[in-house]
Amino acid sequence: MIEPRHLRVLRAVSATGSFSAAARELGCTQPAVSQQMKALESAAGTPLIVRAGREMRLTQAGEVLVRHATGILAGLTAAEEEIAAIAGLRAGRVRLVSFPSGSSTLVPSALAALRAAHPGTRVSLVEAEPPSSAEMLRAGDCDVALAFRYGGPGEEWDDLVERPLLTDRLVGVVPEDHRLARAESVSIAELAEEAWIAGCPRCRTQLVEACGAAGFSPRIDFATDDYPAVIGLVAAGLGVAVLPELALASARVDGVRTLRVAPAVRREIVALTLPDLAQVPAVAATLDELERAAER
């Protein structure tokens, strides 16, 4: 078995023409070089160098091996450098999945900071709602998933690493001329008779649950996961809605009023990843930047 160590020694010996000089170049003692060369010759099955008086020359086999050594060692160092670039965040790719309101608020800020801190990293972004984004993670189709949950921590991603980012609150959205438009806050029950405009499927489920807790079943006239559309529909007087604060942060709110909802309904926004991937530098850096973006 020929080892890279052998090839380094042989190359140094060939370059310097002396065991001692090679040892100095390699930072070891001369007997070490001597032993390596002997081991290499034994592995090769034929002498590699020939000593004629003072000087050394390579045999044909030695020349062959030196010629190969260059390529092999170059390949090895190239591999090491590329890996070091990934480990040192001078390179690396992160496949990020986010839900719509996250990808328009947290994600741009986080990715800008990531790019600034580590210009070599590359991030790809795909949109997906929480139930499927965790599946993409498990299937290996992404590295980080931005997700949210309404309930407690005992949810469907116990096998994933969860990095909490922020707590989002639901706010009520009513037309400017609504009877409650001037109220500071509103309870869900006060909207029992309204027409509703629901958001994404998961938010819709949450809405139905919240209304159920307040003792009624909402009459949902429209449902879309396009939040600007929801706001537009509300502004047009077609109904009311509850939306995550985060969704409002990146939308124009002309023609509507937002109301605090009492009791407050919260959703936890978290970043998910696989346990192993959490150790990957580029993934860890992305999680850090997402957390930092959430603080702003």
Partner DNA sequence: GCTCGATTATAAGGAGCGCTTTGGGGTATC
Partner DNA sequence: GATACCCCAAAGCGCTCCTTATAATCGAGC
List 18, 109, 187, 258, residue binding DNA (CB under 7 A): 18
List 2, 25, 30, 229, residue binding DNA (CB under 7 A): 30
Residues 88-117 that bind a copy of itself (CB under 8 A): 88, 92-93
Q: Does 137 bind DNA (CB under 7 A)?
A: no
Q: Does the CA dihedral 17-19-25-26 come out positive or negative?
A: positive
Q: How far is the CB of 156 from DNA (least distance, A)?
A: 13
Residues 255-294 that bind a copy of itself (CB under 8 A): 274, 276-277, 279-282
Of residues 237 and 281, the one with the C-beta less far from a copy of itself: 281
Q: Does 57 bind a copy of itself (CB under 8 A)?
A: yes
Q: Does 82 bind a copy of itself (CB under 8 A)?
A: yes
Give me 125's structure tokens: 């972004």
Q: How far is the CB of 85 from DNA (least distance, A)?
A: 23
Binding site for a copy of itself (CB under 8 A): 1-4, 44-47, 49-53, 57, 59-61, 64-65, 68-69, 71-72, 75-76, 78-80, 82-84, 86-88, 92-93, 138-140, 159, 274, 276-277, 279-282
